[in-house]
């Protein structure tokens, strides 16, 4: 009788049932979408971090550079450098391989210090460098100066401060070079790469002039395995290309990987490194290890994975905060509205059925049986809403996944971006599939003055959003809908419980 | 057997106190057929509520076969209603979403009989009110007289001792009224029920061996 009566009531009040179920379904779907998208965004953040810092890295150690120090700083051009053409303009080309601006190298002995700490299960060191090449033409400054002294206005178009103006045109190109210890493979940036072509660095390569390239960078530069790459005047043989294991089209942490010792030699930074990748025995000890490292290495800046997660910027962090705040509030509001709707309809249903429920009591139905019937109806509505909501939410998540939303995240402490040139612009253009000419954009800005270099160090990684729907979310969502039904049932049931059986004798209504 | 002593029921209507029943003393023996008449607002339905254990009096006692309904808790009153008392209402009060047979079965739900027995007894009860062929009809598909027959089947399917009817013919035309009264009278005779019926209708009242009249909360026995 319970189920017959329940089914008949729901079918008879089809409109209310549908409205309540839709309300709950929309709320449930929203909860599922918000949950799975934020899980997707978290995954994306994790893969951004992984692609930059490698799998298994719990703590990274870097050292902030003195302002102005290090970095692909000023190119020093003497007036005698380069070849002067007939009109005094000089063609110049110069390479600069040094520690990325904003960070500093430190002695490799830090590695031993960290390795000796409790709970540390692995450490590897890398030397992050940036190679900036400059090529272009500069006007004859001497001639200009003579003209100025003679009181002559410089002819427009031949001189002037503007980089793009006058006889100057420059191209600045930069790429990342990371010196890695080929023997250390447990932790570090190479843990999230796989060989696309050729091979990766091995322990035998320790002092060999070889390089492994990011596959995307290699393609963009039209370089292949077997070609050579010139770094600080030394020719390196390209032995392999690598891609990220975190996703298709995801760039790896660096453009070029060379053996650590080679990087140190080429950059004249013997015994120096820029990053330590530390793995810790258990997640609960990460903070303790981080503090111990800070104590042991006072100049170092120490970041844990969660610090790093906060550092992830770009559309990823926008998505993360959007989902986190707006999504959560929206689900709470819609959920509350749906619950309210369910309660409202249940209560009004009980009010409408006063005589009917009174009659059941009059003919001997206990209060609990009547309340149970009302609660059963609301819970069933909740269940219908929950199932519909899971379907709706599943469809919405599937649509989001099919849409292939690409989120871009950058991570890399202390980096600053410069004029849209350099690395970020470079990679953005990669994403758009255009030929890179980052140099032009980067160089146009400060004109003839000393160059700051193509400064951006941040590694931008784009990740296609993949929102997972876990069984747990589905069960929780259905549970939430049933809870809404139960809540309505309790409120409606309380009313039904208070109803006097004598209501059956009311001749009105 | 009902034994009622100085039964009083007052209602609070805002600031006004309404004496729906005042010092009513009355005895109704098993197997009696009693009609209750009286002006509107006189207290007929209130008395029926007391007799049926739907509500408790403000003071006084009302005992059914020696147990005082006035002193019972809700659970016990519910059991009395489920087992000993059948109700028939002016507006039939059928559950609109349930078929005739299912409506009759609702009266057997509290006693916890098996599904099969419930169905069989419901069908038999419908047959006893000549509606065996309408078991699958919804109340909306039945005439007023037929709906009241279903309600009578629902009231009697549990074999109660007492049948209380509040204006059972109030919503029916004369012809149907006579059919229903005939039916009730037949069932009363057949089953040895105590049948108490509230009616406005003197034609109906004249057919009952005992006639009570309630006005202003006070009962007068017209047949005494
Ligand atoms: N639940 C209640 N709350 C307040 N007053 C009530 C309530 N039930 C009945 N009354 C009052 O008690 C008095 C008796 O009512 P009752 O319903 O018993 O009259 P009745 O004789 O059945 O009238 P009718 O012929 O109109 O059905 C009336 O004045 C009525 O207004
Ligand atoms: Mg009445």
State what percent of residues in chain A have pLDDT above 90.
25
In angstroms, the CA A387 to CA A475 distance is 10
Q: What does the pLDDT read at residue A162? A: 41
Q: What does the pLDDT read at residue A418? A: 29
List of chain B residues whose C-beta atoms are within 8 Å of the C-beta of residue A17:
none
Q: What does the pLDDT read at residue A377? A: 93
In angstroms, the CA A419 to CA B115 distance is 82
Residue B37 near residue B196, CB atoms below 8 Å: no
Which residue in the block uniquely carries the two structure tokens 């017959």? A4
Chain-chain contact of A364 with B48 (C-beta, under 8 angstroms): no
pTM, to two decimals: 0.67
Min Cα separation B150/chain A (Å):
14
Burial class (CB in 10 A: 0-12, 13-18, 19+), A87: exposed
Q: How far is the CA of B218 from the centre of ligand 1 (A)?
A: 13
Asked if A15 has any chain B CB less than 8 Å from its own CB, the reply is no
DSSP category for residue B207? T
In angstroms, the CA B50 to CA B52 distance is 5
Running along chain B, 224 residues long, what does each successive block of 10 average in pLDDT? 96 92 96 95 94 95 94 94 96 96 97 94 96 96 96 96 95 93 94 94 94 95 88
Nearest to A116 by CA among A264, A297, A274, A287: A297
- The closest-lying atom of ligand 1 relative to the alpha carbon of residue A507 is 27
pLDDT of A79 over the 60 cut: no
Q: What does the pLDDT read at residue A103? A: 79
Nearest to A242 by CA among A182, A183, A190, A207: A190
Q: What does the pLDDT read at residue A84? A: 54
DSSP category for residue A58? -
Q: What does the pLDDT read at residue A185? A: 64
Q: What does the pLDDT read at residue A82? A: 53
Bigger pLDDT: A64 vs A65: A64
Across the interface, of A8, A364, A500, the residue whose CB is closest to B81 is A364
In angstroms, the CA A241 to CA A197 distance is 5
Q: What does the pLDDT read at residue A445? A: 34
Instruction: Give mean pLDDT, residues A250-260.
Output: 82
Nearest to A20 by CA among A504, A441, A481: A481
Across the interface, of B83, B98, B158, the residue whose CB is closest to A8 is B98
List of chain A residues whose C-beta atoms are within 8 Å of the C-beta of residue B56:
none
Q: Which of the listed residues B8, B9, B18 should we mutate to test ligand 1's pocket, taking the one with most ligand atoms within 8 A of CB?
A: B18
Chain-chain contact of B107 with A364 (C-beta, under 8 angstroms): yes
pLDDT of A285 over the 50 cut: yes
Bigger pLDDT: A200 vs A491: A491
- The closest-lying atom of ligand 1 relative to the alpha carbon of residue B43 is 18
The nearest alpha carbon in chain B to A502 belongs to B54
Nearest-CA residue for ligand 1 atom 26 is B40
β-strand partners of A461: A409
In angstroms, the CA A95 to CA A367 distance is 88
Asked if A352 has any chain B CB less than 8 Å from its own CB, the reply is no
Q: What does the pLDDT read at residue B26? A: 95
Asked if A238 has any chain B CB less than 8 Å from its own CB, the reply is no
Residues with CB under 6 Å of ligand 1 are B 11, 13, 18, 20, 38, 40-46
pLDDT of A326 over the 50 cut: yes
Residue A139 near residue A158, CB atoms below 8 Å: yes
In angstroms, the CA B206 to CA B89 distance is 20
Q: What does the pLDDT read at residue B204? A: 93
Which residues neighbour A307 within 8 Å (Cβ) at sequence distance 6 or greater?
A: none
Chain-chain contact of A364 with B75 (C-beta, under 8 angstroms): no
Nearest-CA residue for ligand 1 atom 18 is B43
The nearest alpha carbon in chain B to A354 belongs to B93
Q: What does the pLDDT read at residue A455? A: 32
Q: How far is the CA of B166 from the centre of ligand 2 (A)?
A: 7
Q: How far is the CA of B24 from the centre of ligand 1 (A)?
A: 16
List of chain A residues whose C-beta atoms are within 8 Å of the C-beta of residue B79:
364
Bigger pLDDT: A472 vs A68: A472
Nearest-CA residue for ligand 1 atom 30 is B41
Nearest to A118 by CA among A276, A285, A295: A285
Residue A254's pLDDT band (cuts 50, 70, 90)? confident
List of chain B residues whose C-beta atoms are within 8 Å of the C-beta of residue A364:
78-79, 81-83, 107, 110-111, 158
Instruction: Give mean pLDDT, residues A6-15.
Output: 92
Nearest-CA residue for ligand 1 atom 22 is B45
List of chain B residues whose C-beta atoms are within 8 Å of the C-beta of residue A367:
74, 78
Radius of gyration of chain A (CA): 33
Identify the structural domains of chain B with CATH numbers, from first to last. Answer: 2-221 (3.40.50.300)
Q: What does the pLDDT read at residue B113? A: 92
Q: What does the pLDDT read at residue A142? A: 63
Bigger pLDDT: A461 vs A493: A493
Across the interface, of B97, B109, B118, the residue whose CB is closest to A9 is B97
In this structure, what token pair is assigned to residue B73?
């808790």
Across the interface, of B89, B95, B155, the residue whose CB is closest to A505 is B89
Residue A77 near residue A138, CB atoms below 8 Å: yes
Q: Which range among A68-72, A253-257, A321-325 has the greatest average pLDDT?
A: A253-257
- Average pLDDT of chain A? 77
Strands of A142-208 (E only): list them: 169-180, 193-198
Interface A:B, Cβ pairs < 8 A: 87
Bigger pLDDT: A275 vs A158: A275
ipTM for this prediction: 0.96
Buried b (16+ CB within 10 A) or exposed e, A214-244: bbbbbebbebebeeebebbeeebebbbbbbb
Q: What does the pLDDT read at residue A422? A: 33
Instruction: Give mean pLDDT, residues A142-159.
Output: 55
- The closest-lying atom of ligand 1 relative to the alpha carbon of residue B49 is 18
Q: How far is the CA of B19 from the centre of ligand 1 (A)?
A: 9
Q: Which range among A97-111, A285-299, B72-86 has the greatest average pLDDT?
A: B72-86
pLDDT of A501 over the 70 cut: yes
Q: What does the pLDDT read at residue A364? A: 95
Burial class (CB in 10 A: 0-12, 13-18, 19+), B223: exposed
Weakest mean pLDDT among A95-99, A365-369, A386-390, B178-182:
A95-99
DSSP category for residue A223? -
List of chain B residues whose C-beta atoms are within 8 Å of the C-beta of residue A1:
102, 105-106, 109, 118
pLDDT of A72 over the 60 cut: no
Nearest to A502 by CA among B54, B165, B50, B51: B54
Bigger pLDDT: A492 vs A72: A492
Bigger pLDDT: A228 vs A284: A228
Model confidence pLDDT, tens digit, residues A384-424: 999 999 999 999 999 988 888 877 776 543 332 223 333 33
Nearest-CA residue for ligand 1 atom 3 is B11
Chain-chain contact of A5 with B49 (C-beta, under 8 angstroms): no
Asked if A501 has any chain B CB less than 8 Å from its own CB, the reply is yes
pLDDT of A301 over the 80 cut: yes
Instruction: Give mean pLDDT, residues A251-279.
Output: 87
Q: What does the pLDDT read at residue A147? A: 61
Asked if A367 has any chain B CB less than 8 Å from its own CB, the reply is yes
Weakest mean pLDDT among A180-194, A491-505, B102-116:
A180-194
Q: How far is the CA of B167 from the centre of ligand 1 (A)?
A: 14
Q: What does the pLDDT read at residue B29? A: 96
β-strand partners of A138: A90
In angstroms, the CA A363 to CA A200 distance is 84
Q: Which range among A132-146, A244-258, A308-322 has the greatest average pLDDT?
A: A244-258
In angstroms, the CA A190 to CA A251 distance is 12
Chain-chain contact of B87 with A9 (C-beta, under 8 angstroms): no
List of chain B residues whose C-beta atoms are within 8 Å of the C-beta of residue A505:
45, 48-49, 54, 89, 166
State what percent of residues in chain A have pLDDT above 70.
72
Q: How far is the CA of B41 from the centre of ligand 1 (A)?
A: 5
Q: What is the dihedral of CA A405, A411, A417, A420, to 10 degrees?
A: -20
Q: How far is the CA of B35 from the centre of ligand 1 (A)?
A: 18
Residue A196's pLDDT band (cuts 50, 70, 90)? confident
Q: What does the pLDDT read at residue B117? A: 96
Q: What does the pLDDT read at residue A323? A: 75
Min Cα separation A14/chain B (Å):
12
Q: Which range among A222-226, A440-444, A451-455, B216-220 has the greatest average pLDDT?
A: B216-220
């Amino acid at each position: 009788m319970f189920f017959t009566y329940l089914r008949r009531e729901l079918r008879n009040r089809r409109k209310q049932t549908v409205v309540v179920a839709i309300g709950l379904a929309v709320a449930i779907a929203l909860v599922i979408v918000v949950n799975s998208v934020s899980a997707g965004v978290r995954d994306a953040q994790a893969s951004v971090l992984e692609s930059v810092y490698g799998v298994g890295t719990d703590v990274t150690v870097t050292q902030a550079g003195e302002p102005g120090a290090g970095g692909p700083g000023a190119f020093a051009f003497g007036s005698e450098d380069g070849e002067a053409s007939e009109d005094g303009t000089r063609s110049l080309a110069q390479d600069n391989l040094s520690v990325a601006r904003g960070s500093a190298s430190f002695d490799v002995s830090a590695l031993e210090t960290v390795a000796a700490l409790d709970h540390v299960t692995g450490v590897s060191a890398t030397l992050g460098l940036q190679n900036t090449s400059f090529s272009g033409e500069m006007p004859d400054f001497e001639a200009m100066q003579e003209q100025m002294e003679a009181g002559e206005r410089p002819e427009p178009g031949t001189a002037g401060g503007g980089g793009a103006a006058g006889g100057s045109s420059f191209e600045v190109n930069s790429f990342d070079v990371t010196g890695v210890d080929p023997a250390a493979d447990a932790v570090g940036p190479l843990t999230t790469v796989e060989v696309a072509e050729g091979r990766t660095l091995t322990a035998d390569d320790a002092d060999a002039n070889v390089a492994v390239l990011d596959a995307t960078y290699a393609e963009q530069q039209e370089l292949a395995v077997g070609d050579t790459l010139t770094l600080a005047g030394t020719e390196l043989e390209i032995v392999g290309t690598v891609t990220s294991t975190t996703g298709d089209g995801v760039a790896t942490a660096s453009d070029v990987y060379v053996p650590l010792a080679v990087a140190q030699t080429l950059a004249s930074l013997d015994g120096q490194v820029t990053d330590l990748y530390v793995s810790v025995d258990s997640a609960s000890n990460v903070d303790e290890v981080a503090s111990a490292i800070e104590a042991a290495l006072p100049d170092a800046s120490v970041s844990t994975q969660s610090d790093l997660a906060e550092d992830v910027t770009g559309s990823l962090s926008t998505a993360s905060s959007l989902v986190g705040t707006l999504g959560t509030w929206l689900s709470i509001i819609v959920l509350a509205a749906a619950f309210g709707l369910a309660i409202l309809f249940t209560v009004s249903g009980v009010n409408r059925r006063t005589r009917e429920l009174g009659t059941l009591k009059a003919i001997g139905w206990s209060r609990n049986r009547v309340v149970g019937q009302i609660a059963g109806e609301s819970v069933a509505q909740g269940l219908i809403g929950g199932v519909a909501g899971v379907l709706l939410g599943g469809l919405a998540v599937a649509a989001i996944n099919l849409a292939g939303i690409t989120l871009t995240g950058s991570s890399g402490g202390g980096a600053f971006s410069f004029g849209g040139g350099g690395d970020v612009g470079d990679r953005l253009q990669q994403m758009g599939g255009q030929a890179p000419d980052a140099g032009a954009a980067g160089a146009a800005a400060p004109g003839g003055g000393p160059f700051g270099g193509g400064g951006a160090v941040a590694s931008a990684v784009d990740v296609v959003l993949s929102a997972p729907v876990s069984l747990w979310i589905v069960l929780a969502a259905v549970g939430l809908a049933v809870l809404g039904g139960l809540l309505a049932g309790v409120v409606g049931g309380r009313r039904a419980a208070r109803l006097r059986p004598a209501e059956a004798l009311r001749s009105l209504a | 057997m009902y034994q009622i002593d100085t039964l009083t029921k007052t209602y609070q209507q805002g600031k006004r106190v309404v004496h729906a029943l005042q010092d009513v003393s009355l005895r109704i023996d098993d197997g009696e057929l009693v009609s209750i008449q009286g002006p509107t607002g006189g207290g007929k339905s209130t008395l029926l509520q007391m007799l049926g254990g739907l509500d408790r009096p403000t003071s006084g006692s009302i005992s059914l076969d020696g147990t005082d309904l006035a002193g019972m808790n809700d659970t016990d009153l519910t059991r009395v209603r489920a087992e000993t008392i059948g109700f028939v209402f002016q507006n039939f009060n059928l559950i609109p979403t349930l078929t005739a047979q299912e409506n009759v079965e609702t009266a057997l739900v509290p006693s916890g009989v098996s599904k099969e027995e419930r169905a069989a007894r419901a069908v038999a009860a419908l047959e006893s009110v000549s509606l065996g062929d309408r078991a699958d009809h919804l109340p909306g598909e039945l005439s007023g007289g037929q709906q009241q027959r279903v309600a009578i089947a629902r009231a009697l399917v549990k074999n109660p001792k007492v049948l209380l009817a509040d204006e059972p013919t109030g919503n029916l035309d004369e012809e149907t009224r006579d059919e229903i009264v005939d039916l009730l009278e037949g069932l009363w005779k057949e089953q040895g029920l105590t049948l108490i019926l509230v009616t406005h209708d003197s034609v109906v009242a004249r057919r009952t061996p005992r006639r009570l009249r309630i006005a202003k909360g006070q009962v007068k026995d017209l047949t005494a």
